[in-house]
Amino acid sequence: MDKDFDPTDLVGQDAAREERKAADVFDRDRFVVDFKWLMQHKQGRRIMWWLISQAGVFRNPWRPSANEMSFVAGNMNQGQLLLTEIFTIVPDSFTTMMKEANDDAKRRSGQRSE
């Protein structure tokens, strides 16, 4: 706790709370703008697809070891946080990203994409 904190200064506490709230709103607004910028580029969507794939959000987290399963579940949680941001900020990008990843997989396997 701050050494200058005065528990009796309710007005000061309210002002500090409002400053923190304003800073949080500023940070979130900037994040949303940055996230939209990332997801409007094919390269950004490829990186995001790689991140959520590496997190294992599309795989079963079950492992025989509780420690390993906890680790996998933690990775999945991070990927799910990214998916939540996608669906909240740029929901149409997920379909685009999924189609692009599917087309890339077909190209790698020698199939034609439609």
* Cβ neighbours for 17, distance < 8 A, ≥ 6 positions apart: none
In this prediction, residue 3 has a pLDDT band, given cuts at 50, 70 and 90, of confident
In this prediction, residue 37 has a pLDDT band, given cuts at 50, 70 and 90, of very high
pLDDT of amino acid 35: 98
pLDDT of amino acid 4: 85
Residue 113 has pLDDT above 70, yes or no: no
The pLDDT tens digits for 90-109 are: 999 999 999 999 999 999 99
In Å, what is the CA distance from 41 to each residue of 14, 34, 52, 72, 105? 41, 12, 17, 29, 19
DSSP single-letter state for residue 110: T
**How does DSSP assign 9-74, residue by residue?**
-HHHHHHHHHHHHHHHHHHHHHHHHHHHHHHTSHHHHHHHHHHHHHTTTTS----SSHHHHHHHHH
pLDDT of amino acid 112: 67
The pLDDT tens digits for 65-95 are: 999 999 999 999 999 999 999 999 999 999 9
Compute the mean pLDDT over every residue in the chain, rounded to the nearest whole number: 95
Structure tokens at 80: 């799910």
Which residue ranges make up each domain of the chain? 10-109
